[in-house]
Copies of this chain bind each other. A is one copy, B any other.
Amino acid sequence: MGEPRITERGRATRQRIIEATGQQILAGGIGGTTLDTVRAATLTSKSQLFHYFPGGKAELVREVAVWEGGELLAAQMPFIEDLGSWESWHSWRDALIHYYLGLGRWACPIGSLATQAAMTDPELDAVITASMATWLDALAAGVVKMQANGHVDPSADPRRIAVAILASIQGGLVLSQPQKSSWPLEAALDTALDVLHQSTAPPR
Contact = CB atoms under 8 A, between A and B. Distances in A.
Interface of A: 27-32, 107, 111-112, 114-120, 125, 128-129, 132, 136, 160-161, 163-164, 166-172, 174-175, 177-178, 183-185, 187-188, 190-192, 194-195, 197-198, 200, 202-204
Contacts of A178: 114, 118, 125, 128-129, 132
Contact of A194 (B168, B170, B203): B203
A118, A120, A128, A171 — most chain B CB neighbours (10 Å): A171
Nearest to A170: B171
Contacts of A111: 115, 171, 174
Given A30-B31, A167-B172, 16 more contacts: A28-B120, A29-B119, A107-B115, A114-B174, A114-B178, A115-B177, A132-B175, A132-B178, A163-B175, A163-B183, A164-B191, A168-B188, A170-B171, A190-B202, A198-B198, A198-B200
A129 B177 CA distance: 9
B171 A120 contact: no
B116 A116 contact: yes
26 contacts: A29-B117, A31-B31, A114-B177, A115-B115, A118-B178, A129-B178, A132-B178, A136-B175, A160-B191, A161-B191, A163-B172, A163-B175, A163-B184, A164-B188, A167-B168, A167-B170, A167-B171, A167-B174, A167-B175, A168-B168, A170-B171, A170-B174, A174-B174, A187-B202, A191-B192, A198-B200
A28 B116 CA distance: 9
Contacts of A204: 190
A22 to B, nearest CB: 15
A4 to B, nearest CB: 32
